[in-house]
Chain A
């Protein structure tokens, strides 16, 4: 027997709680989504009313005193009173994209390679250990990576430029050579060094190759005309070498985005219905042929979304760029020159900008750009991923 009054009380309480949860949930969701609206609200006065900026002032070269040609120039506060101010945001946007581009150039091959290896070759037990390890790598704070990149790596690369550049060539060659050498080994040793565990036993080998490269690099450099790589680069290619440059940023930020890309790409690859791959293998394809012709096309959208999410992270990363890039607003593609990104500019300049002034609102515009870009990229990636999951389910159903 239930007391009807008690039942009513319980019902009432239930309705109240549901109401509370709904209010809380909707409130949180709305307030979180309000970020974009707020940023846009702060930016609108820039382009309306008196003293409005023309978009051309931001994105097209403007005449600068002392230069014949119009220039892209970011100098939002006069250095001395009465100086002209320039609001050219193009170098900042360029710097952001350039940093992201170099980071992705470094991270995408490594992350995809790691994902392919672990999805296709690794024993399940090892893969279950590798994933959390790379998750830990993702958790490393940007400020620590930026510190190591800016104060340890940058001076080191400056001193060992030839060796560092040579590593880019020798490490992949070393990995391939390891495969070739393994085929020559006696059978019992070859069984020990199984391809499934190659992710581990290749590490000391690559370390050896790397140290050998660094040891030989000075001799190689001496073989260049002039015996000095830096001078040669400048003379032949017109490249100026800055200590903190896009290469360092790309390396550091690539390190930071590898785990994210890896995790999503690995999910996409190992989510491909096993029947597809097994069919190809049964018809006599090698594992790599299976991957290239069957698994990759099936997982393509997932890998695309992984790269997109990596790009979103690279575009917005602040501390690494701030500490490793030198923060010079330039418009060059050269990997050996510095750059200044939107996010670093916000971090440096916003605390000092006068509230409500043009400079302040421009920095809000920068934030809005970052927000819009990452939101678009992530939405795209998420939609693609959802579609893909549905496709896998269908494929599995029909198999």
Chain B
């Protein structure tokens, strides 16, 4: 016996590789979610501005973004967001760490969010307002006060434009109406009044290296002094930032501002899709499971339907483009909207066609879920109902379907989750980079099915790949991606919970 020479009886390395793949998959998932959460939520935090004094050259103010190793050497360099596009000609600056002589965070540094040229980082020297000059320590309180007034003026103007002027203009287009004309003139006069009230004040700004800049105050959207803010103040600012992101429209070619129209478009499309997909999916599920004779043919159809869930989404997009947009839409245009041709009404991508395409795409999901739910209803329930004299219809509506509702709901939620994340087919059937009008407004017929719409997923793709300064738009892309992922995760968790609840109620599958 030579026990030390026999191989130790174990299972070898394979089980550990298998366990490692679970660990790796989970870490990748966690890493991705963490990346999105940090990238998306961090953007709204008022980051500290540092005043960087390099060993050579003028000092500058910047917000540190990230650090990298310089390729091919041991040195590290740091990327700063410096803003001031109008002064420097660019917004970013890399600087090697060993080239920094001093780093400070003076509390008086301001960050201004401007309509043109992006952010300004530097000192506030004075606020000049119609001959009065607030300089030094008085400048900042004066600026805060003026910005608050500006905000209310701006709100009033926007409200006038959207709620008063636009409908009046449409009324005038449809036919001369003297009362409307007078009202319009009054509203326009008020808007001009507001515009003048906004003009006038000027900020005198100074960059950290001492260059002066005159900035009309009307162009400034917001101002803050991150280094002077306390943590609760920062938290409040963060909350306001998140809210603005959710409630405002995009600015500066989608690279700034919020995503409200995209949220609205996504929700609208998904709602329309649900309205279409639920009845048809449920109907087909009931037919396959309850009405059709079970045999090789239904089995074949079932395999076919299941397979359609695996057909690439882009193929549905191509189908939607060919059949809905050019086929049905083209015919609708020729019949009903001939006077506006050649500019198409329904013969181009729009909300309706996108919803129908996605309904087709998610149909298999609903059918399969309904069928699974129906198969779970014990046979004796059906037999009992029939034995008591119910017709098949009554058996279905009173006994079987009520028990299947959670399954259908699960299917619908999964369908919605899938549809909300699908982008490729939408690119063919109606999504827009920037849709000035949301598909719902106060004008008859209120829901404009032919309009193009914005979509969160497409917003991510477009902003990330077609902007001119991708680096600057990145935080917004992160935030949008986080929002989309959160929506989809919540929907899926609801579906998982419902399914779990369902299993617990009915026990294991009784017929499958």
Which chain A residues have a beta carbon within 8 Å of chain B's beta carbons? 2, 10-11, 13-14, 17-18, 20-22, 24-26, 28-29, 32-33, 35, 38-39, 42, 109-114, 116-118, 120-121, 130, 132-137, 139-148, 150-152, 159, 171-172, 174-176, 178-179, 183, 195, 198-203, 205-207, 218, 227-228, 255, 258, 262, 286-289, 309, 312-313, 315-319, 322-323, 343, 346-347, 350-351, 355, 363-364, 367, 370-371, 374-375, 377-379, 382-383, 386
Which chain B residues have a beta carbon within 8 Å of chain A's beta carbons? 9-30, 32, 35-36, 68-69, 71-72, 74, 279-281, 283-284, 286-288, 290-292, 301, 303-308, 310-319, 321-323, 326, 360, 363-364, 367, 389, 391-394, 396, 417-418, 420-424, 427-428, 457-458, 460-461, 464-465, 470, 474, 477, 481, 484-485, 488-489, 492-493, 496
Interfacial chain B residues near A29, Cβ < 8 Å: 284, 287-288, 301, 304-305
Given contact pairs A142-B423, A374-B311, A35 touches B316 in the complex (Cβ within 8 A): yes
Contact B19 A319, beta carbon cutoff 8 Å: no
Contact A28 B283, beta carbon cutoff 8 Å: yes
Contact B69 A21, beta carbon cutoff 8 Å: no
Interfacial chain B residues near A20, Cβ < 8 Å: 283
Q: Majority SS of interface residues in chain A?
A: helix
Contact A323 B284, beta carbon cutoff 8 Å: no
Contact B313 A316, beta carbon cutoff 8 Å: yes
Q: How far is the CB of B397 from chain A (nearest CB, A)?
A: 8
- Beyond known contacts A141-B420, A319-B424: 8 more, CB 8 A cutoff: A18-B392, A136-B29, A144-B36, A144-B460, A183-B10, A199-B22, A318-B314, A375-B311
Given contact pairs A198-B19, A367-B315, A38 touches B322 in the complex (Cβ within 8 A): yes
Q: How far is the CB of A144 from chain B (nearest CB, A)?
A: 5
Given contact pairs A24-B280, A144-B460, A218-B69, A255 touches B391 in the complex (Cβ within 8 A): no
**Residue ID in chain B nearest A375 by CB atoms:** B307
The distance in angstroms between the C-alpha atoms of A26 and B470, with both chains bound, is: 49
Contact B427 A347, beta carbon cutoff 8 Å: yes
The distance in angstroms between the C-alpha atoms of A195 and B22, with both chains bound, is: 12
Interfacial chain A residues near B284, Cβ < 8 Å: 24-25, 28-29
**Residue ID in chain A nearest B27 by CB atoms:** A203
Q: How far is the CB of B322 from chain A (nearest CB, A)?
A: 6
Q: How far is the CB of A373 from chain B (nearest CB, A)?
A: 9
- Name 29 interchain pairs, CB-CB below 8 A, sorted by A: A2-B389, A17-B393, A21-B283, A39-B322, A110-B21, A112-B21, A117-B22, A121-B15, A134-B25, A139-B489, A142-B421, A143-B458, A144-B460, A144-B481, A144-B484, A144-B485, A150-B465, A179-B13, A179-B16, A195-B15, A199-B19, A202-B19, A203-B26, A316-B311, A316-B315, A317-B312, A346-B317, A347-B427, A350-B321
Selected contact of A25 from candidates B32, B292, B310, B489, CB within 8 Å: B292
The distance in angstroms between the C-alpha atoms of A14 and B385, with both chains bound, is: 14
Q: How far is the CB of B182 from chain A (nearest CB, A)?
A: 45
Q: How far is the CB of B426 from chain A (nearest CB, A)?
A: 10
The distance in angstroms between the C-alpha atoms of A198 and B23, with both chains bound, is: 8
Interfacial chain A residues near B363, Cβ < 8 Å: 28, 32
